[in-house]
């Protein structure tokens, strides 16, 4: 069945409950797979171990051929051939599922793996739908009692010491997967006395597919968020444009009102000045000594009145200048004042 990817944690709990109560048929397991076409998680009941273990390296893949000759392949001793077979099975199965597999040779060994810097290891680079992941094998060491040679025994009689224990490559292997969004179900597989990595190969590929699905889901969500943000921005710009249009109307009305008031004030002032000029002329005519100077002053007052009077030139609606953002600001709500 198809479910939302975010439902994975809940289904893991349900499956764990089913395991505890023996609800899953023997030889079957519940598998998870990301369905890219519908951006959903496919949960299904499948047969265990779909990845077929490799019994012998007959006609190995190009990847394993190189690893078999590599000096930085990290597995030594008897487990080396088994490790190559594990990688061979993974390479074949991954490629059968449309994944691309190559070698990331001589990579630095992570400090967390052994606690110190230095060392190199070969890794598998697995690409699924363009997303890359790295898979590495890890081999620890075990302490075994030292078996002294005859020379060491002879030297011991002379006071020389030999070690009590030797560090030997561990027979048990580990596998670690890196890349993507990090662990979805599991990122490390370890062998025990009763469990080998061959039993985990299906889960390894499943984890890669789930991580690729998580990346694809994240990209979808990021794209959706960008689209929503773009839609919000487009809506905001429309609202700003609408507010600016209303502001222009308000600015126009205010500009005309101010022009009316200014013209009326200037006209009234001009009328008052002309009346005053006439009074000056009358008073000057009665004052014989100051008649000439009074007439000159009356003329200056009349000239001033003519300069103030908006008529007859201002008998049309004034031309309204294009308003700047500063002109519109008083008519805009605060959130729209700096919108572009």
* Series of mean pLDDT values for 10-residue runs along the chain (340 residues): 84 80 80 81 78 85 95 92 95 94 90 61 94 93 80 80 78 93 89 91 91 91 95 93 94 95 94 94 80 89 93 86 91 78
Task: Output the CA–CA distances (angstroms, integers) from residue 146 to 161, 164, 165, 305, in the order listed.
Answer: 12, 5, 5, 122
Q: Would you state the pLDDT for residue 115?
A: 46
Cβ(43)–Cβ(5) below 8 Å: no
- What distance in Å separates the CA atoms of residue 141 and residue 295, rounded to the nearest whole number? 122
Cβ(137)–Cβ(72) below 8 Å: no
* 3 state SS of 189: strand
Q: Would you state the pLDDT for residue 182?
A: 86
Q: Would you state the pLDDT for residue 116?
A: 44
Q: Would you state the pLDDT for residue 49?
A: 66
Contacting residues for 228 by C-beta, under 8 A, at least 6 apart: none
Q: Would you state the pLDDT for residue 258?
A: 94
Q: Would you state the pLDDT for residue 91?
A: 96
Q: Would you state the pLDDT for residue 305?
A: 93
Among the listed residues 79, 96, 113, 94, the one whose alpha carbon sits nearest the alpha carbon of residue 196: 79
- What distance in Å separates the CA atoms of residue 83 and residue 123, rounded to the nearest whole number? 12
Whether the full predicted model's pTM is greater than 0.75, yes or no, is: no
Q: Would you state the pLDDT for residue 163?
A: 79
Q: Would you state the pLDDT for residue 212?
A: 93
């Amino acid at each position: 069945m198809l479910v939302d990817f975010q439902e994975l944690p809940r289904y893991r709990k349900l499956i764990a409950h089913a395991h505890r109560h023996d609800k899953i048929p023997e030889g079957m397991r519940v598998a998870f797979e990301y369905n890219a076409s519908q951006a959903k998680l496919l949960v299904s009941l499948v047969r265990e171990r779909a990845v077929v273990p490799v019994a012998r390296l007959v006609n190995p893949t190009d990847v394993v051929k190189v690893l078999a000759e590599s000096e930085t392949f990290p597995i030594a001793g008897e487990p080396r051939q088994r490790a190559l077979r594990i990688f061979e099975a993974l390479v074949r199965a991954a490629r059968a599922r449309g994944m691309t597999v190559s070698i990331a040779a001589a990579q630095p060994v992570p400090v967390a793996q052994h606690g110190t810097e230095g060392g190199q290891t070969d890794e598998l680079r697995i690409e699924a739908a363009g997303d890359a992941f790295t898979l590495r094998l890890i081999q620890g060491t075990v302490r075994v009692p030292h078996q002294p040679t005859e020379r060491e025994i002879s030297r011991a009689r002379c006071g020389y010491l030999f070690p009590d224990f030797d560090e030997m490559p561990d027979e048990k292997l580990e596998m670690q997967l890196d890349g993507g969004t990090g662990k979805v179900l599991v990122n490390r597989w370890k062998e025990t006395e009763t469990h080998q990595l061959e039993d985990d190969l299906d889960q390894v590929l499943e984890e890669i597919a789930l991580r690729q699905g998580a990346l694809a889901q994240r990209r979808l969500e990021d794209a959706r968020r960008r689209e929503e943000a773009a839609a919000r921005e487009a809506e905001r710009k429309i609202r700003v444009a609408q507010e600016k249009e209303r502001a222009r109307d308000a600015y126009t009305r205010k500009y005309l009102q101010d022009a009316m008031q200014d013209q009326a004030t200037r006209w009234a002032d001009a009328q008052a000045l002309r009346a005053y000029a006439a009074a000056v002329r009358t008073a000057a005519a009665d004052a014989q000594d100051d008649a000439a100077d009074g007439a000159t002053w009356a003329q200056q007052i009349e000239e001033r009145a003519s300069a103030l009077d908006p008529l007859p030139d201002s008998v049309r609606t004034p031309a309204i200048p294009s308003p700047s953002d500063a002109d519109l600001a008083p008519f805009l709500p605060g959130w729209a004042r700096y919108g572009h």
